[in-house]
């Protein structure tokens, strides 16, 4: 059954797609980006305070999971990658290095990229740790569920903490996709037996 949020999201996504068509922008999924383009993306993540710095090696690693690009005439105007955290025998994915060129901002292309990546990982564990009401609202639009730290395995929290994702529930909110939510009990139980071993 479609919820009010699903309807709202679908309208926004249709608008974003129509905008892309109008502007001659193409959205592509790829595992292949040139070294020169990766260097530009890496520099960008370094220069923008809102983004975590990803060097070319990190981007190459993320590229193995595939990424979505917004392109026009061979130039990249938007991107989103997926960062894989390995937790015990599980892979937990997180959206990363989201960027849309200033020229095309506020036309829902950010949400379009997030939606595509979220759908791509709908049979995988996907987590979003974010600050800011807009991102929380976007996560809700994308069908992700708000969870508290006590719902999460301490093993996962430790992995995230190593990457600078702090245990700060005042500043950050944790969202997981429906697949993660449905398996969270099993996930925590398996990781717990791992600690005991």
Ligand X SMILES: CC(C)(COP(=O)(O)OP(=O)(O)OC[C@H]1O[C@@H](n2cnc3c(N)ncnc32)[C@H](O)[C@@H]1OP(=O)(O)O)[C@@H](O)C(=O)NCCC(=O)NCCS
Token pair recorded at residue 29: 């999924």
How near is the Cβ of 190 to ligand X at its closest, in Å? 30
Q: How far apart are CA 178 and CA 162, in angstroms?
A: 25
CB-based contacts of 17, cutoff 8 Å, min separation 6? 112
Angle between helices 154-162 and 178-196 (to 10 degrees): 100
Nearer to ligand X, 165 or 192 (CB): 165
CB of residue 51 vs ligand X: minimum separation in angstroms? 5
Residue carrying the six token digits 């564990």: 125
> C-beta of 28: minimal distance to ligand X in Å?
17
In the three-class reduction of DSSP (H, G, I as helix; E, B as strand; rest coil), residue 79 is classed as: strand
Residues interacting with ligand X, by CB under 6 A? Answer: 48, 50-51, 98-100, 105-111, 132, 134-135, 138
- Based on CB atoms, which residue is closest to ligand X, 87 or 95? 95
Closest-CA residue to 33 (of 61, 4, 60)? 60
Task: Pull the structure tokens for residue 83.
Answer: 């960062």
* Closest CB to ligand X among residues 119, 189: 119
Give min distance, CB of 115 to ligand X, in A. 9
Q: Which is nearer to ligand X, 42 or 107 (CB)?
A: 107
């Amino acid at each position: 059954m479609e919820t009010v949020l699903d309807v709202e999201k679908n309208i926004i996504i249709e608008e974003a797609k129509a905008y892309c068509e109008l502007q001659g922008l193409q959205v592509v999924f790829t595992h292949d980006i040139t070294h020169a383009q990766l260097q530009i993306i890496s520099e960008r993540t370094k220069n923008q305070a809102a983004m975590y710095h990803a060097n070319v090696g990190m981007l190459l690693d993320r590229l193995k999971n595939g990424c979505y690009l917004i392109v026009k005439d061979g130039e990249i105007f938007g991107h989103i990658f997926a960062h894989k955290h390995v937790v015990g025998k599980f892979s937990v994915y997180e959206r990363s290095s989201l960027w849309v060129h200033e020229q095309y901002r506020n036309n829902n292309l950010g949400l379009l990229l997030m939606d595509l990546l979220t759908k791509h990982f709908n049979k995988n564990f996907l987590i979003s740790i974010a600050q800011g009401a807009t991102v929380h609202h976007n996560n809700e639009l994308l069908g992700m569920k708000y969870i508290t730290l006590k719902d999460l395995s301490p093993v996962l929290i430790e992995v995230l903490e190593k990457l600078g994702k702090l245990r700060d529930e005042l500043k950050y909110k944790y969202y997981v996709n429906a697949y993660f939510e449905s398996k969270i009990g099993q996930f925590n139980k398996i990781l717990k037996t791992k600690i005991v071993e």
